[in-house]
Amino acid sequence: MSNTPGRQFFDTHMKYIVAGDMVGMVTDTYTEDAILYNAFPFLDTPPPNVIQGREALIKAFEAYLAYQGEIQVDSLYNFLETDDVISFQATITSPKTGKWAVGDVWTLEGGKISRHFGFAHRLGDA
């Protein structure tokens, strides 16, 4: 992949995930009123979930890291970026939960994520 603004943004986002710094990630890469829409199985409420605001996002992403543990991005594909959208698919591996196909669509406002649509399905056990 080229070193485009969208890819740089993605790489910054992933550095926070690898470091386990959800407070930094949400503060640096999400708007204050950002909304996450997902159907992941790691929250206290059954999917689909709509999570709004930085504090709620931090809690949700911390739950995600607790559920997955360390994740490794095996492949990144279908990466698309415009001035106000970043979209991608990836395969990841978690030592706790196995291999997953994931995808995200991020709409951007002022250089930060305002809407985050996430989806995933499990490909295999750990």
pLDDT tens digits for range 39-72: 877 777 778 889 999 999 999 999 888 888 888 8
- Asked whether 4 and 82 are in contact (CB, 8 A), the reply is no
Q: pLDDT band at 7, cuts 50/70/90?
A: very high
d(CA 75, CA 86): 16
Q: What is the pLDDT at residue 4? A: 92
Q: 5-124 maps to which CATH number? A: 3.10.450.50
Residue 125: DSSP 8-state? -
This prediction has a pTM of 0.89
Q: What is the pLDDT at residue 37? A: 94
The closest alpha carbon to 104, from 69, 124, 76, belongs to: 76
d(CA 29, CA 114): 9
pLDDT tens digits for range 87-121: 999 999 998 889 999 999 999 999 999 999 999 88
d(CA 49, CA 52): 10
Q: What is the pLDDT at residue 113? A: 98
pLDDT tens digits for range 73-86: 999 999 999 999 99
Q: pLDDT band at 2, cuts 50/70/90?
A: low
Residue 47: DSSP 8-state? S
